[in-house]
Chains A and B, each alone.
Chain A
């Protein structure tokens, strides 16, 4: 495993999959602000990132042990000298901490923090064995500090961090007190002698109340944001355990406290009553100790689980994970308004049928090729159900994954995603305001969703407001690029151009610009490209994929559009590129360059299966405060892969077809020169 634990000793622990998705199957979705740094070795955590099991277990051992050690030291001023059993537990916990720390630093080396952590952990049991065990309180406090830092390290934001730190302090006290009480379970609270159980029980009760309150506050602040996710995901259940365990401790110790006092008040009582009280006390204190440890364990494991899905909010694109039995898929719902909504289901290797019936869906290199297995849920049968209406998930030309257009009445609180007999409930909130942006659910809906997703990937769910869709207007820069492209074709001597456009405002404006420029340059606009003409495509993804595929099919036997297929800048996405034998695009950025690659990495890490797109990149750059300022250049795109035969079933085929994490899955996009801007043809 290439990731080492050490960074997590002092740095945020990646969210991710120690545990599989819960029975309800929903896995959480996008991390708020999962901005991916330039260096791939330090990928930010994504919603599907899992801390590898070894790391997660090491963290669990480390933090739980640390809580025991810290607690054993912290309670000394009140509890007095420990019994042997308490020292043994503290020593064992310290060794566990040391072992986990050593394991964590095996590959990455020690830091002063790591050394200090081990030192204070070991110091506690050492001092407990001395004549002045109260001195263990000092390293105990330091260990509590470490625990707070580690537990809070997975959070971002001061409030969430403070809540985790508070939980750590309370949990340490609670654990220490519970441990001490367990070792002295034969003594009744308030009983005479050196026993100080009563004050400790009060401490534990207060700490338990505090921990419970803090844990619930954390849930309210950072999620899960719905009851469905709270009980249906690993993270939700762990968060619930972290909150309820201290409550259990509080409850049983309060009972013990008052029952014990009752026994003490009644004096000696009967021998049988005393025995019953002792037995009850033993059980309650055992339960308290186990619950205290479980609470810390649950809290420590939270950071190793996929983070909670964002709360569904009216008017904001919802992007989250959903597990339909074969691993998480990315689920997108947009525009989250009453009425028609697009639901996208995607993931690496996902296969869905075409919406048009028996004809195969446009096959792109982004889709699995022969030799591959079926998609995650068996290849077919995805659906979305709202109330009693079930809508099949089908392919849309030019767009990745599967899509369903569903009607969500005002007030809808959930929808079900179905596959192969498995149903998952996803919380939604469309509100009651019927103000869906134009184009959000039409043929250009996938591009609109891609743009919003770009912003969400950059700036978190809060950036998911579905506003004006890209296909609703033609960017001036794109118009200039198209005009320059036409002039370039004129310079190259293209005998004519065929124009592929659709009814969207952007496409109509682009077509007008192309026609005007062609007229100015003296290039005829033809109904068909013919053998040597060029095809200029300014439609949206869906029609572009169809138009380009038709030309590719025609060119199989007859020279067709040998002047080239020129795509508008917004058509840089795998679903369109994969239908073309080759294409040329004017672009203001190089897809292989660092900034677009950062966008691709962020998208792949936070919403696997989603296809990068120009609109997504522009939105991502805008949300991250970066500008795509490069002058337009011409880029060539082609599916580069030596055409091997379809080899033995399951043996080879095209291994890497479904790389939706690339600009052009299975292909290449390279800069082939500047976009010439000749003044005269």
Chain B
């Protein structure tokens, strides 16, 4: 008996059925594989006796990597679910009933879980660039995932903060690609600070964290050691520094504000405080060997728009950097409050864009013989340096204007310093290079004729500057130096730069991370002081209007320091260079776009040798 129908139509139908089956098979098999997600949950009990969790959603690739093959290096990316609060108004207007995927719009409009994306960062791996796990946090939503620590070492927990939830999550990454939750710090545990920003992990595994905003309730707040400062409330001023245990416990909360009023003309507070203060710490780095911590004050992190036409006051953006005495790790004390100097661009007409405005980040030198530190300003578009952070009152000088390098990033580039929107700032472990990420300035920001600037990453040669010790002479104080670079011989010079989205203005990265892990010939990873690549994230904070395109890119660092975009680091869905966090589906579900703020290179403990 023949299996093939005898009639002509019978044969045709049979072939059609076969064709449909083949198409279905091709379409379905990968889909079924995609649906094979292992869900592993880790829970802790918070200080409020409620349960908090991280829920791993491990893809088949994650299982394969655990089972065999080369040891894997990962990049963990702390990302927030995008919702209507983050989308452009044109999207919002079309939200309901429109023809353009309204269901997706509704879904994106509503809070989904924030998550830590675990990305395969093993160069040469077939899964390079794939998201192999999304570890969602709950039950809190709309955390606005922000920063973690600046780099990760074997054994470290990962401290990750949520701007809006004022919570700090502590993750255990020893069993990567799976994450566990070690603890959580809730705002009720850090009453004298809010809006956690960044962290520095100490040698004992605990961490300092900057809480940029004021006490959770307005009025006087008593810190761990009895200090009292009056604050104007949640997300106001003054902020604090908190030392967190590996379980999220608040070990100490220290005031960032001094007992005496700070400069009332430079330090606006809303509502006004009896003791004006600029203490809104954002960036934080530590030299435990020098018993010194440095924090940079960015801004009072809330804004009520009393007048929709007027700009918020520029004096809500801070020009200050603080050094702290941490000889007693449980009793950090502010030692100095330095007002960064204005530079040759400052003319009194546009204080928002004075070189010293919005001191977002700071980074310390690393080698024992060096004691200097750098700071950068987001609106000011400048980099500052002090050669010795251990002295009573460090002197900070401007050593680089982003106007020098702006033309190299891409389109525009004229007058590249003002509102350059610089962010990540990091010295290389060997103190030879200073890396800085900048978003750039959208065209038209300074006026109708403003062509704006593209963004990217610059690598500055700082060998001479750091090598000069306290004898440094570099200072940007003439108009020529704005674009030509410092005239003094020890001033930083551009070693290399790479534009991210070079054809667009204001579309560069806010954040970055150096890969301080190196794969040895024995197949194990070791820490290195010669990073060969870095990663960048094109996202700041959607509510501020600096939303970015939500891509995470990889940049190779050549032996000579040259930076090049790694074009093999591609999105698993689109095949385009850089991985895109604007995607429909994640291992944890179809939650749509996500906002990647910061990232770290990590590997499982067992895959790293000391």
How many angstroms between the C-alpha atoms of A592 and B364 in the bound complex?
Answer: 37
Q: Which residue of B lies closest to A18 (CB)?
A: B99
Contact, CB under 8 Å: B139 / A556: no
Contact, CB under 8 Å: B235 / A16: no
Contact, CB under 8 Å: A658 / B89: yes
Q: Which of A78-111 contact B (CB under 8 A)?
A: 87, 91, 94-95, 98-99, 101-102, 105-110
> Cβ of B94: which chain A residues have Cβ within 8 Å of it?
327
CB-defined interface of A256-271 with B at 8 Å, one 1/0 digit per residue? 0000000000000000
Contact of A130 with B139 at beta-carbon distance under 8 Å, contacts A555-B270, A564-B233 already known: no
CB distance from A655 to the nearest CB of B (A): 5
> Cβ of B273: which chain A residues have Cβ within 8 Å of it?
559, 562
Contact of A50 with B99 at beta-carbon distance under 8 Å, contacts A2-B104, A638-B236, A641-B302 already known: yes
Contact of A91 with B308 at beta-carbon distance under 8 Å, contacts A52-B101, A582-B236 already known: no
Contact, CB under 8 Å: B97 / A553: no
Contact, CB under 8 Å: A108 / B31: yes
Contact, CB under 8 Å: B301 / A640: yes
> Cβ of A43: which chain B residues have Cβ within 8 Å of it?
103, 106-107, 110
Counting CB contacts under 8 A, is B434 at the interface? Answer: no
How many angstroms between the C-alpha atoms of A368 and B91 in the bound complex?
Answer: 13
> Cβ of B83: which chain A residues have Cβ within 8 Å of it?
659, 661-662
> Cβ of B12: which chain A residues have Cβ within 8 Å of it?
91, 129
> Cβ of B300: which chain A residues have Cβ within 8 Å of it?
643
The 15 listed contacts between A and B (C-beta, < 8 Å) are A49-B96, A109-B35, A125-B9, A126-B14, A326-B93, A349-B92, A492-B220, A556-B272, A562-B274, A592-B139, A639-B304, A643-B316, A646-B311, A652-B442, A670-B166
> Cβ of B210: which chain A residues have Cβ within 8 Å of it?
none
User: How big is chain B's contact interface, by range?
Assistant: 35 or more
Counting CB contacts under 8 A, is B141 at the interface? Answer: yes
Contact, CB under 8 Å: A2 / B590: yes
Query: Which secondary structure dominates chain A's binding surface?
Result: loop
> Cβ of A327: which chain B residues have Cβ within 8 Å of it?
93-98
CB-defined interface of A296-332 with B at 8 Å, one 1/0 digit per residue? 0000000000100000000000000101001110000
How many angstroms between the C-alpha atoms of A241 and B388 in the bound complex?
Answer: 81
Counting CB contacts under 8 A, is A494 at the interface? Answer: yes
How many angstroms between the C-alpha atoms of A82 and B400 in the bound complex?
Answer: 85
With A348-B93, A348-B95, A638-B194 known, 8 other A-B pairs at CB within 8 A are A2-B592, A47-B96, A110-B24, A129-B9, A556-B271, A562-B271, A642-B543, A643-B302
CB distance from B573 to the nearest CB of A (A): 12
- Selected from B217, B306, B419, B442, the residue in CB contact (under 8 A) with A552 is B306
Task: State the A residues within 8 Å of B (CB).
Answer: 1-3, 14, 16-18, 20-21, 27, 39-41, 43, 46-53, 87, 91, 94-95, 98-99, 101-102, 105-110, 118, 122, 125-126, 128-131, 306, 321, 323, 326-328, 347-349, 360, 363, 365, 367-373, 375-376, 492-494, 531-532, 534, 552-553, 555-565, 578-584, 592-594, 597, 600-601, 604-605, 608, 634, 636-649, 651-659, 661-662, 665-668, 670-674
Q: Which residue of A lies closest to B195 (CB)?
A: A640
Contact, CB under 8 Å: B31 / A371: no
Q: Which residue of A lies closest to B268 (CB)?
A: A556
- Selected from B9, B166, B303, B379, the residue in CB contact (under 8 A) with A668 is B166
> Cβ of A558: which chain B residues have Cβ within 8 Å of it?
272
Contact of A562 with B590 at beta-carbon distance under 8 Å, contacts A3-B103, A556-B270, A642-B298 already known: no
Contact of A652 with B545 at beta-carbon distance under 8 Å, contacts A328-B97, A673-B191 already known: yes
How many angstroms between the C-alpha atoms of A122 and B187 in the bound complex?
Answer: 61
Counting CB contacts under 8 A, is B330 at the interface? Answer: no
How many angstroms between the C-alpha atoms of A91 and B19 in the bound complex?
Answer: 14
CB-defined interface of B288-316 with A at 8 Å, one 1/0 digit per residue? 00000000001111111111110111101
> Cβ of B299: which chain A residues have Cβ within 8 Å of it?
642-643
Contact, CB under 8 Å: B28 / A642: no
> Cβ of B600: which chain A residues have Cβ within 8 Å of it?
none
- Selected from B16, B443, B545, the residue in CB contact (under 8 A) with A644 is B545
- Residue with the highest number of chain A CB atoms closer than 10 Å, among B112, B186, B187: B187
CB distance from B598 to the nearest CB of A (A): 16
Q: Which of B18-33 contact A (CB under 8 A)?
A: 20, 23-24, 27-28, 31-32
Which 9 A-B pairs give the minimum distances between C-beta atoms? Answer: A555-B271, A48-B96, A129-B9, A652-B545, A582-B233, A648-B444, A643-B303, A659-B85, A643-B312
- Selected from B24, B31, B311, B545, the residue in CB contact (under 8 A) with A655 is B545
> Cβ of A592: which chain B residues have Cβ within 8 Å of it?
139-142, 165
> Cβ of A91: which chain B residues have Cβ within 8 Å of it?
9, 12-13, 16
How many angstroms between the C-alpha atoms of A492 and B107 in the bound complex?
Answer: 43
Counting CB contacts under 8 A, is B213 at the interface? Answer: yes
How many angstroms between the C-alpha atoms of A98 and B18 in the bound complex?
Answer: 11
- Selected from B99, B543, B585, B590, the residue in CB contact (under 8 A) with A17 is B99
How many angstroms between the C-alpha atoms of A447 and B54 in the bound complex?
Answer: 37
Contact, CB under 8 Å: B304 / A581: yes
Contact, CB under 8 Å: B5 / A126: yes
How many angstroms between the C-alpha atoms of A16 and B100 in the bound complex?
Answer: 11
Contact, CB under 8 Å: B96 / A639: no
How many angstroms between the C-alpha atoms of A557 and B306 in the bound complex?
Answer: 13
- Residue with the highest number of chain B CB atoms closer than 10 Å, among A46, A652, A668: A668
> Cβ of B230: which chain A residues have Cβ within 8 Å of it?
562
How many angstroms between the C-alpha atoms of A655 and B112 in the bound complex?
Answer: 19
- Selected from B85, B274, B313, B547, the residue in CB contact (under 8 A) with A531 is B274
Counting CB contacts under 8 A, is B557 at the interface? Answer: no
CB distance from B77 to the nearest CB of A (A): 20
Q: Which of B130-188 contact A (CB under 8 A)?
A: 139-142, 144, 163-167, 186-188
CB distance from A556 to the nearest CB of B (A): 6
How many angstroms between the C-alpha atoms of A647 and B542 in the bound complex?
Answer: 14
> Cβ of B298: which chain A residues have Cβ within 8 Å of it?
642
Q: Which residue of B lies closest to A554 (CB)?
A: B271
> Cβ of B88: which chain A residues have Cβ within 8 Å of it?
655
Q: Which residue of B lies closest to A87 (CB)?
A: B9
Contact, CB under 8 Å: B104 / A645: no
How many angstroms between the C-alpha atoms of A53 and B104 in the bound complex?
Answer: 12
- Residue with the highest number of chain A CB atoms closer than 10 Å, among B10, B271, B311, B316: B271
> Cβ of B20: which chain A residues have Cβ within 8 Å of it?
95, 98-99, 102, 118, 122
Contact, CB under 8 Å: B445 / A648: yes
> Cβ of B164: which chain A residues have Cβ within 8 Å of it?
640, 668, 670
Contact, CB under 8 Å: B28 / A109: yes
> Cβ of B139: which chain A residues have Cβ within 8 Å of it?
592-594
Contact, CB under 8 Å: B217 / A564: yes
CB distance from A79 to the nearest CB of B (A): 17
Counting CB contacts under 8 A, is B341 at the interface? Answer: no
Counting CB contacts under 8 A, is B424 at the interface? Answer: no
Contact, CB under 8 Å: A672 / B28: no
Q: Which of B394-438 contact A (CB under 8 A)?
A: 419
CB distance from A565 to the nearest CB of B (A): 8
> Cβ of B309: which chain A residues have Cβ within 8 Å of it?
370
Counting CB contacts under 8 A, is B468 at the interface? Answer: no
Contact, CB under 8 Å: A642 / B31: no
How many angstroms between the C-alpha atoms of A556 and B268 in the bound complex?
Answer: 9
Contact of A581 with B233 at beta-carbon distance under 8 Å, contacts A16-B97, A327-B97, A640-B164 already known: yes
How many angstroms between the C-alpha atoms of A94 and B102 in the bound complex?
Answer: 30
> Cβ of A126: which chain B residues have Cβ within 8 Å of it?
5, 9-10, 13-14, 17
CB distance from A396 to the nearest CB of B (A): 18
- Selected from B271, B312, B584, the residue in CB contact (under 8 A) with A581 is B271
Contact, CB under 8 Å: A50 / B103: yes
How many angstroms between the C-alpha atoms of A369 and B165 in the bound complex?
Answer: 23
> Cβ of B93: which chain A residues have Cβ within 8 Å of it?
326-327, 348-349, 373, 375-376
Counting CB contacts under 8 A, is B370 at the interface? Answer: no
Counting CB contacts under 8 A, is B487 at the interface? Answer: no
> Cβ of B543: which chain A residues have Cβ within 8 Å of it?
640-642, 654-657, 666
How many angstroms between the C-alpha atoms of A290 and B590 in the bound complex?
Answer: 39
- Selected from B104, B312, B442, the residue in CB contact (under 8 A) with A648 is B442
Q: Which residue of A lies closest to B23 (CB)?
A: A102
Contact, CB under 8 Å: A52 / B104: yes
